[in-house]
Amino acid sequence: MIFFHIFLTVLSFVSFVIIFKFFKIRSKYGHLPGPKSNGLIEFFFGQYFDIYKFLSENNFIEDLQLIWSKKFGSIYVYQFFHQMICITSDEDIIKKILIEKDLPKKPEIYNIVGYPFGERFLGSGLVSEINKEKWRARRALFNHGFKKNSLLQSIEEFNAKGNKLIQKLNLIAESKKSIYMFDEFNRMALDAIAKIAFDLELDSIGNQESELNSFITYGLHGLTLKMTDPLSEIRPSNKKLIKEIKQSIRNLRKFSAEQLRNIIEKFEEDSPISNTIFSNILRHAKSTDDMDFEIMIDDFITFFIAGQETTANALSFCILELGQNERVLKKLKSEIEEILGCKNNISNEDISKLNYTAAVFKESLRKWPPVAAFSRFNPEEIEFGGKLIPKNTWFYVSPFVMSQSEKYFPRPDEFIPERFISSEPFAKENKITSYTYFPFSIGPRNCIGQNFAILEGKLILAKFIQHFDFTLDPYQSLKVVERTTLRPIDGVKVYLNPKI
């Protein structure tokens, strides 16, 4: 009996401490708007079950945050287990978070990016490294691989991979079969980044059985699953999926390690003629201590994912939007026919003239940014918009939510490239700045490969429109799914009609 009383006493004390802690956390945020937690379950779990239900029906959480933003305003909070998460769609606050204060990345989130389900995925790569000093050193090293001259030299490879894709699509078009453009853009982008960054010839375009895409997709799925559902590992329905995710990550790292060893050996034998992005980085790293092989694998994988996903997803959304917008498509075709004609290869000079093409690509990135959100936190109490935000608040900064703000982008749900053309009257109605439009993030930790992605995206889009008319499959879903990056859920199924 005495042990039972001791147990009850300990249980009561622990319960009191937990409840007191939750009351204390919530009381600090009482002055901020947001969805309320009602009842005992929501007292402890907050909006977790609302989010889980929404995700099971709608595929990505930013849609729910957009709904809440419209209801609660440009800065609000919600509870996720013991965490209070602050969402903002205010230009000035975004500027303070990412530029003026340069708030650090949230460790819990980027530890998941590095090690989902305990498997080393992006590890301590450029995206997932949270130590600012270590990150600065690596970013300075990586900058050597992304100089302007290196990017301009990439145009030759973009043309080569693009031409190979066009050849493949022509064969499929002749068969009158439909095709999933997301898969094809994905393979093309993977081949391009492999060649330009590492001098690897993967031939994913010609090899439908390539497993590398699958490894990457499962890894990204793992990040999303772990971030949005902390209880995912205890759900029996996820057992098989998590096993596949972990094995895919192991396979991806095994492939990466084998390729890296070959690259390093060739680099040492033939460094004078090696001029890839990675060889330029490696050349400068040889004189430093920054040669940890596991971190190099982290960076190798980061390169593949960033170089592939950004371009492929944006191009897929371009086709999905153009397939529903005859006016924009007609205008785009007219520009491409006038400037490119029947050219087989597109030059940098050509790309600089494709103003409407650039606007179409930018509008795709606005409406469907590659990464819908990223996380920061404030080590100390901070004031935003006259409101005090307690220290250690989790900030969720969403390019997607910002892009849907009518305050900055009139008619935000419409695909209107003219908003990015300064000479167009509609452009003047938009408020496009670095703090309202940031599909590649902003500040010191912006995407190092954004110029690479934009250049490739414009060139491949122009080449595709130059060679094909297309129609969307009438049963094509227009929904979106999040696998760390946003992508069309149905893969953009189209029928092609060759023009040249």
For residues 16-40, average pLDDT: 72
User: Can you give the pLDDT at residue 268?
Assistant: 63
What's the whole-number mean pLDDT along residues 4-12? 46
pLDDT in tens, 414-425: 999 999 999 999
Query: What pLDDT shows up at residue 33?
Result: 94
**Residue recorded with tokens 């060889």:** 279
pLDDT-based confidence at 287, cuts 50/70/90?
Answer: low
Confidence of residue 22 (pLDDT cuts 50, 70, 90): low
Task: Say which residue the tokens 């009561």 belong to.
Answer: 12
pLDDT at residue 305 greater than cutoff 50: yes
pLDDT exceeds 80 at position 289: no
Measured in whole angstroms, the distance separating CA 345 from the mean position of its chain's CA atoms is: 29
pLDDT for 17 beyond 50 = no
Question: Which structure tokens are listed for 466?
Answer: 């130059």
Is the pLDDT reported for residue 316 higher than 70? yes
Is the pLDDT at 152 greater than 80? The verdict is no
Percent of the chain surpassing pLDDT 70: 91
- Contact in structure between 494 and 179 (CB atoms under 8 Å): yes
Q: What is the pLDDT of residue 274?
A: 63
Confidence tier at 23 by pLDDT (50, 70, 90)? low
CA distance 445 to 430: 26
Is the pLDDT reported for residue 325 higher than 90?
A: yes
Overall average pLDDT of the 315-338 stretch: 96
Check the annotation: does 318 bind a ligand. Answer: no
Is residue 14 pLDDT above 50, yes or no?
Answer: no
Residue 26 has pLDDT above 80, yes or no: no
Across the range 267-278, mean pLDDT stands at 64
Nearest to 221 by CA among 239, 244, 204: 244
The predicted-structure confidence for 215-233, as pLDDT tens digits, reads as follows 999 999 999 999 889 999 9
Task: Domains for the chain: give ranges and CATH numbers.
Answer: 45-498 (1.10.630.10)
pLDDT digits (tens, 9 = 90+) for 394-453: 999 999 999 999 999 999 999 999 999 999 999 999 999 999 999 999 999 898 889 889
Of the spans 37-41, 326-330, 445-449, which averages the highest pLDDT?
326-330
Asked whether residue 133 carries a pLDDT value surpassing 50, the answer given is yes
Name the nearest CA neighbour of 305 among 417, 136, 225, 190. 190
pLDDT band with cut points at 50, 70 and 90 for residue 7: very low
What value does the mean pLDDT of the chain take?
Answer: 88
Long-range contacts of 109-114 (CB under 8 A, 24+ apart): 109/227, 109/375, 110/375, 112/223, 112/226, 112/227, 113/223, 114/298
Query: Could you report the per-residue pLDDT of 112-124, keeping only the tens digit for each?
Result: 999 999 999 999 9
Rounded CA-CA distance 281/94 in Å is 32
Summarize pLDDT for 160-212 with one digit per residue, the tens: 999 999 999 999 998 888 999 999 999 999 999 999 888 888 888 988 777 88
